[in-house]
Amino acid sequence: MLSMGLREKKAQRNRDRIIAEAMALFGGSGIGYESTTMEVIAEAADISPSTLYRYFPTKDSIVLASLMRNTAKFSEVFAQRVKELPVERALAEAIFAVLAVEDAEPKHALMVRSILSQSPVARARLWDYLGELQFQLTRQLAECLGKKPDDLSINLTARIALEVLMAAADIWRDSKGKVSSRGTAAQFMRLLREGVVLFPDAGTEDVSKGAVLKKSTKKSPVRKIESRLRSR
Amino acid sequence: MLSMGLREKKAQRNRDRIIAEAMALFGGSGIGYESTTMEVIAEAADISPSTLYRYFPTKDSIVLASLMRNTAKFSEVFAQRVKELPVERALAEAIFAVLAVEDAEPKHALMVRSILSQSPVARARLWDYLGELQFQLTRQLAECLGKKPDDLSINLTARIALEVLMAAADIWRDSKGKVSSRGTAAQFMRLLREGVVLFPDAGTEDVSKGAVLKKSTKKSPVRKIESRLRSR
DNA sequence: CATCTTTTTGGTAGTCACTGTCATTTACTA
DNA sequence: TAGTAAATGACAGTGACTACCAAAAAGATG
């Protein structure tokens, strides 16, 4: 019961075969993402279109399956490293780990990026997936630091971490693999550490008037609560 | 010649009518995004499907047109304010300006967000649009600060600014409009200013070995702002 | 091994977003 | 008023994706 039966083995074989054939058709020496129909993919993988749709409900899910093999590293590495390292180090290493995978297989990574640039829907899926990653990371960070998941500083940190990851990958892709993505990420981290952030340290109050958080009441004369809330 | 002829007037009327009818059908008391076919929209707007496709090449472009009316404020306000204010203030005001528009029309904003959650393709378009915004902002910032557009600190600043904008909007949406988006944005800015950023100040080099960028040889002054690292 | 059940597969028909073409109508112009 | 260029609408596709049903394959049971 524990070992895979003939059924599951076949299914796994089919899944791998579909991804391989599809990616070959999509990028590189193939015919491009848009002009590769699901029928063609099915034919290349020796199954019927119906069955293909049963394995992958949408065309872009094939690309996503390929992409997730890389990004899955993130949460994994972070969860492991955070046990023995300070949070910020674990975060950095998780970022480097994902980028290292892409560095190791530049052809595959560039192909995925190429497909992404061809298909808005694929991009949408990636975005959704990043949202999930962010959600997950937020919870992990909250747990490590003993804060609530809806803490704004946690939220911001998770967002920025993933933004650094994406930014480094973007710049790497734009340079066609010439600049090291890990180097770029390291520079971003240094910039963050040094405080490049361009935000005013005063005067935001008048612009964001009425910016009271949560259930703070409608009592108008409590302007000072604002500063108390934000000074923490 | 300069004044709009009958043709352009009619076209404008059609555009407005299409957007209005479509948005009514998509959200709120309508029948939802997916189940509203282009044919139905055409019928509601009193034109043929062919003509509808001539006005809006894709279904999601109708949503996007509605969304852009808000986000267009960003570059506009920034370009204007940066003339008389320091860059960081102008950036903050641009963010607040966009959020203010959403605050002013919460029903419309929530509807757009609802549609976005229904359609991956619409999300993809929004993402693409954000990419353009980021590109534009990067150039604007570079010009203001006298740096090259491919400067990493510029790149990072633009990304973070838009991330703050999106984050505030996200949180506002998740709270169904209860928390002030401008207040949240202000808090994010404060956190950034105080240096919440969780990144190590040493040891990144060994992980990102070989990560040498153009002029990265320049060793920067080590400012340890990190003393305030969130260790609570 | 034969039989029964469950899962997997393939085929068929349909919906809908979107494209291309072409004749017709409509707004502008000489 | 006639002529031109643009806008429109009808029609016929293509391709992603869905729903449905019958046949084949895998597993369980006698």
Q: How far is CA B105 from CA A81, B67, B127, B173, in A?
A: 45, 12, 22, 13
In this structure, the dihedral spanned by the alpha carbons of residues A21, A23, A24 and A25, taken in order and rounded to 10 degrees, is 90
Using the predicted structure, report yes or no on whether residue A205 has a pLDDT greater than 60: no
Q: What is the largest CA-CA distance in chain A?
A: 73
Tell whether B215 lies on the interface with A, counting CB pairs under 8 A: no
Q: Which residue has the higher pLDDT, A132 or B5?
A: A132
Pick the CATH number of B1-57 from 1.10.3470, 2.40.128, 1.10.10, 3.40.50: 1.10.10
Q: Which residue has the higher pLDDT, A204 or A130?
A: A130
Eight-class DSSP state of B31: -
CATH class of B58-194: mainly alpha
Q: Across residues B72-89, what is the average pLDDT?
A: 92
Using the predicted structure, report yes or no on whether residue B26 has a pLDDT greater than 50: yes
Eight-class DSSP state of A179: S
Q: What is the mean pLDDT of chain B?
A: 81
Q: Which residue matches tokens 């902002």?
A: B137
Task: Report the distance separating Cα B108 and Cα B216, nearest Å.
Answer: 47
Of A1-15, B130-144, B202-216, the range with the highest mean pLDDT is B130-144
Q: Across residues B100-111, what is the average pLDDT?
A: 86
Residues of B in contact with A230 (CB under 8 A): 186-187, 190
Using the predicted structure, report yes or no on whether residue B100 has a pLDDT greater than 60: yes
| pLDDT at residue A203, rounded to an integer | 43
Determine contact, residues A113/A126, Cβ cutoff 8 Å.
Answer: no
Sign for the pseudo-dihedral over CA of A26, A31, A36, A41: negative
| pLDDT at residue A67, rounded to an integer | 81
| pLDDT at residue A225, rounded to an integer | 23
Q: Which two tokens stand for residue A181?
A: 């993505």
Distance B26 CA to D10 C1' (A): 27
pLDDT digits (tens, 9 = 90+) for A131-177: 989 999 999 999 999 999 999 999 999 999 999 999 999 999 889 88
Q: Across residues A7-11, what is the average pLDDT?
A: 90
Q: Across residues B107-136, what is the average pLDDT?
A: 84
Q: Which residue has the higher pLDDT, A196 or A101?
A: A101
Determine contact, residues B172/B180, Cβ cutoff 8 Å.
Answer: yes
Determine contact, residues B81/B89, Cβ cutoff 8 Å.
Answer: yes
pLDDT digits (tens, 9 = 90+) for A216-232: 333 222 222 222 222 22
CATH 1.10.357.10 domain locations along chain B: 58-194
Of the pLDDT bands very low, low, confident and very high (cuts 50, 70, 90), residue A197 is low
| pLDDT at residue A158, rounded to an integer | 95
Distance B55 CA to C28 C1' (A): 21
Instruction: Calculate how close chain B gets to A197, using CA atoms only, in Å.
Output: 6
Residues of A in contact with B191 (CB under 8 A): 152-153, 156
CATH 1.10.10 domain locations along chain A: 1-57
Sign for the pseudo-dihedral over CA of B10, B61, B174, B21: positive
| pLDDT at residue A102, rounded to an integer | 85
Give nucleotides in strand D with any atom < 7 A to a protein C-beta. Answer: 6-11, 15-20, 26-28
Tell whether B190 lies on the interface with A, counting CB pairs under 8 A: yes
| pLDDT at residue B76, rounded to an integer | 92
Task: Report the distance separating Cα A133 and Cα A72, nearest Å.
Answer: 9
pLDDT digits (tens, 9 = 90+) for B52-79: 999 999 999 998 888 887 788 899 999 9
Q: Which two tokens stand for residue A200?
A: 């005013």
Nucleotide with the nearest C1' to B7 CA = C27
| pLDDT at residue B197, rounded to an integer | 59
pLDDT digits (tens, 9 = 90+) for B141-169: 999 999 999 999 999 999 999 999 999 99
Instruction: Calculate how close chain A gets to B51, using CA atoms only, in Å.
Output: 24
Q: Across residues A86-99, what is the average pLDDT?
A: 93
Rounded to 5°, angle at Cα B59 from B58 and B62: 100
CATH 1.10.357.10 domain locations along chain A: 62-194
Using the predicted structure, report yes or no on whether residue B3 has a pLDDT greater than 60: no
| pLDDT at residue A4, rounded to an integer | 62
| pLDDT at residue A226, rounded to an integer | 25
- Written as one letter, the residue type at A182 is R
In this complex, the answer to whether residue B50 has its CB under 7 A from any atom of chain D, a nucleic strand, is yes
Share of chain B above pLDDT 90, in %: 54
Neighbours of A215 (CB within 10 A): 7
Question: Which range has the worst mean pLDDT, A43-47, A116-120, B39-43, B145-149?
Answer: A116-120
Pick the CATH number of A62-194 from 3.40.980.10, 1.10.357.10, 3.40.50.280, 1.10.510.10: 1.10.357.10
Q: Across residues B118-138, what is the average pLDDT?
A: 86
User: Which of A's residues 2-41 have CB atoms within 7 A of nucleic strand D?
Assistant: 5-7, 10, 36-39
- What is the distance between the terminal CA atoms of chain A, rounded to a whole angstrom? 57
